[in-house]
Chain A
Amino acid sequence: MVNECVVNAGHSTGDYVTINIGPSHPAMHGTLRVIAQTDGETVVKADPEIGYLHRGVEKLGEHLTYHQFIPITDRLNYCSAIANNVSYEMAVEKLMGLEVPEKAQLIRVIMTELARIADHQVLVGILGVDLGAFTPFFYLIIQREEIYEIFEWYNGARLTNTFGRIGGVEADLPDDFDARWRELRPNLFKAIDETDKLLTHNRIWMDRTIGVTAFSPEDALAWGFTGPCLRACGVKRDLRKDEPYGLYDRFTFDVPIGKNGDVFDRYMIRMKEMEESIKIIDQAYAMYQEMAPDAPLMAKVPKVIKPPVGEVYHATEAPNGELGFFIKSDGSDKPYRIKIRPPCYMVYQAFPELVKGEMIADLIACLSSLNVIAGELDR
């Protein structure tokens, strides 16, 4: 009611205006919904309501064979489908005790890191848009298109890649990967640099992000933060370094960490991680080039995958944080149970805590910087 709004606009009256942000709102990524109690411009209480994109992914897994589930994992964090695919495949491989050929692992690393760059580009771009800076979004998204071109060239899909197979990858890198990567690489640096110039030291940007929704490392750990959001709080934890999987122990790269865990740090972590990812791709690609052209791409895998009875949990460092797959097998060709641990879910549960007492504009900035992807959150 209009009259209510006006009467209650005063501060600390105890009567708050409920604002319904989402599920259809320009700032809501996907179908998130936040029911915010506001006191003027201040958010008193933010109540996230999840589940608008629930598709029963985990249940679906029980009715699909192990290979058929790979396309479903595309739809988790759709900004970086390849990272999900690889994470799931590795979990199944771990359950079966498969040894993936080195060349396939290198291709996985290259593709996953490209997906990570694409994911971070989207995040930084959207964060800019949500804070009113439109232009960096385009600088980044143009280069993301080029990354998608590589994906498309590799397996025909741009967004939902369905990359790889259990036990390896389906195909070698395309012939012109070298040319494409050599063209893309400087452009990626340029896009990151341009964004950096437009935003990082911009007074308005700094005012809008530094100190906004800061989080202490203890709190972050207690709430189950992982990935860039945790590293922004100053905790140096990256599964690629701490619990290396695949070939990640062979690469040298830094794990950037922040200090305050605010929006600015989350943004900076992503900016730096993009550059680290490029470093990893460089090393992986150099190793790849030394491999024999006819090196195997697939482990010896039976046509129908029937892992032994047992259960496994395998987590990888997805662009958003720890993406874990728990798989319980009863020895049949379909998993008995699949449980996914999406990084967003743990991060998003701290959202009401993060935005309490902040302003409406900060709520949007915070949500954007956490990179909550509805597909992954609701599953």
Chain B
Amino acid sequence: MNDWVIAIIKVVFIWVWTLLVAVVMTWVERRGAAMIQDRLGPNRAGPFGLFQPLADGIKLFTKEDIIPANANRILFILGPILFSLPAFSAYAVVPFGDKIVIAGKEIILQVSDVNVGFLYVVALGSMAVYGVIVGGWASNNKFSILGGLRSTAQLISYEVPWGLALLAAALVYGTFSLREISIAQQGTFLGFLPNWGIFRQPLGFLLFIVAAYAEANRVPFDLPEAESEIVAGYHTEYGSMRLGLYLFGEYVNLCTLSALMVTLYFGSWHLPYLNMEAFLGPISYGIASFLVFFLKVSFFLWLFVWVRWTVPRFRYDQVMGLGWKSLIPLALANLFVTALAIQLTV
């Protein structure tokens, strides 16, 4: 019974937390863009414009919900849901901290420690493409279908290097469980480096981050919704909260991808050269590990914003070229070298 309550608390906590981060991210994105572009950004609603996401949410909810006359109604409604659900669900297997001991009961800070965590994440990542293609197709708009097609090609192409990078990481740690990977990153590597995934898999991380940007449809891979070319891509016909779900799903996706990057390559909740568990109390350690994890995630979230407002966008054939001609061979080589190294050292 008690386990059930804890599980529900954890689910609700991580759900609310992700939601909150996604909401704040819309604000960070706009204020960050303004900062980079030498302007102010939204600063009217609340202190520093912090209530802007709230105002946007109210606006989106109260707007008229329009479904185009020739759209496929069922799929049109299904699209945004298919897009945002997997993004949330993927978070379930990502550990957001080590453990917290309350009243003698050890609670791991992770909704569920699945032993195939990796595969689960990859599977859900592939699900998101349905939301995009279904939405793009159901809209019955040429720009939408173009956006949907671009997105499908891109997501499927980049899932390969993404998966291969993950596979190399799995080889290094010998497990599919994200929690076990996190625990394995404590201590130092080669005596002086923090024992983080990035030092064991530098190329893997590079591949992962590039593929992650493509998976998230972010600049420079934002061509599924390239405003200057195909208006708004797959969500051209969407309005009100349905559009909101797409935009929101994107930010939740960013959270998930950032969390994955931190978990796999940046030592999850570990601080370099410092074992927090040794000198912090059980409760404060739990909170501290969560905060450290979240701080790292915040950095990658900011990186998404930073990159978005810095670089131009690829062209469709260039995206495909980069994916198939550079990333996949590199990912295969990385996998091969990793496997060889493990074979020779173990």
Residues of A within 8 A of B (CB): 1-2, 5-6, 9, 17, 19-20, 25-27, 41, 128-135, 137-139, 142, 198-199, 202, 204-205, 207-208, 359-362, 364
Contact = CB atoms under 8 A, between A and B. Distances in A.
B93 interface: no
A25 B227 CA distance: 9
Contacts of B180: none
A62 B257 CA distance: 65
B229 A27 contact: yes
A263 B272 CA distance: 47
Contacts of B312: 128, 131-133, 199, 202, 204-205, 208
A199 B310 CA distance: 9
Contacts of B317: 41, 359
Contacts of A138: 37-39
Interface residues on chain B, size class: 20 to 34
6 contacts: A6-B137, A132-B219, A132-B312, A202-B312, A204-B311, A359-B315
Given A5-B142, A41-B316, A41-B317, A361 B33 contact: no
Given A1-B140, A208-B315, 12 more contacts: A2-B137, A2-B145, A5-B145, A26-B231, A130-B228, A131-B228, A132-B226, A133-B312, A138-B37, A205-B312, A208-B318, A361-B313
Contacts of B316: 41, 359-361
Given A19-B142, A26-B231, A134 B315 contact: no
Interface of B: 33, 36-39, 137, 140, 142-143, 145-146, 149-150, 219-220, 222-223, 226-231, 309-318
Given A5-B145, A198-B310, A362 B315 contact: yes
A35 to B, nearest CB: 12
A3 B14 CA distance: 41
Nearest to A194: B38
A186 to B, nearest CB: 16
Q: Which of B220, B222, B226, B229 has the most C-beta atoms of chain A within 10 angstroms of its own C-beta? A: B229
B313 A132 contact: yes
B311 A202 contact: yes
A362 B316 CA distance: 10
B38 A132 contact: no
A330 to B, nearest CB: 47
B217 to A, nearest CB: 12
Given A2-B140, A5-B145, A135 B229 contact: no
Contacts of A27: 227-229
B321 to A, nearest CB: 9
A6 B219 contact: no
A36 to B, nearest CB: 10
A204 B311 CA distance: 8
A135 B313 contact: no
Contacts of A5: 142, 145
Contacts of B220: 132, 204
Contacts of A137: 37
A377 to B, nearest CB: 19
A135 B228 contact: no
Nearest to A18: B142
Nearest to A20: B142
A5 B230 CA distance: 15
A27 B333 CA distance: 41
Contacts of A128: 312
Please provide the 9 A-B residue pairs with the shortest distance between their CB atoms, ordered closest to farther. A132-B313, A133-B312, A138-B37, A27-B228, A130-B228, A131-B312, A132-B312, A361-B315, A2-B140
A207 B318 contact: yes
Contacts of B145: 2, 5-6
Contacts of A198: 310
Nearest to B145: A5
B318 A135 contact: no
Contacts of A131: 228, 312-313
Given A135-B37, A142-B38, A364-B229, A207 B309 contact: no
Contact of A133 (B150, B226, B229, B311): B311
A263 to B, nearest CB: 12
Given A198-B310, A359-B315, A359-B317, A132 B37 contact: no
A117 B228 CA distance: 24
B223 A134 contact: no
B344 to A, nearest CB: 35
A135 B315 CA distance: 19
Given A132-B226, A134-B33, A204 B313 contact: yes
A20 B231 CA distance: 11
A134 B37 contact: yes
Contacts of B313: 131-133, 204, 208, 361
Nearest to B71: A2
Contact of A207 (B33, B223, B314): B314
A376 B228 CA distance: 22
A202 B314 CA distance: 12
Contacts of A1: 140
A25 B229 CA distance: 9
Given A132-B220, A142-B38, A17 B228 contact: no
Contacts of B140: 1-2
A131 B223 CA distance: 10
B33 A129 contact: no
A135 B305 CA distance: 12
A135 B309 contact: yes
A25 B9 CA distance: 47
Contact of B230 (A142, A205, A208, A360): A360
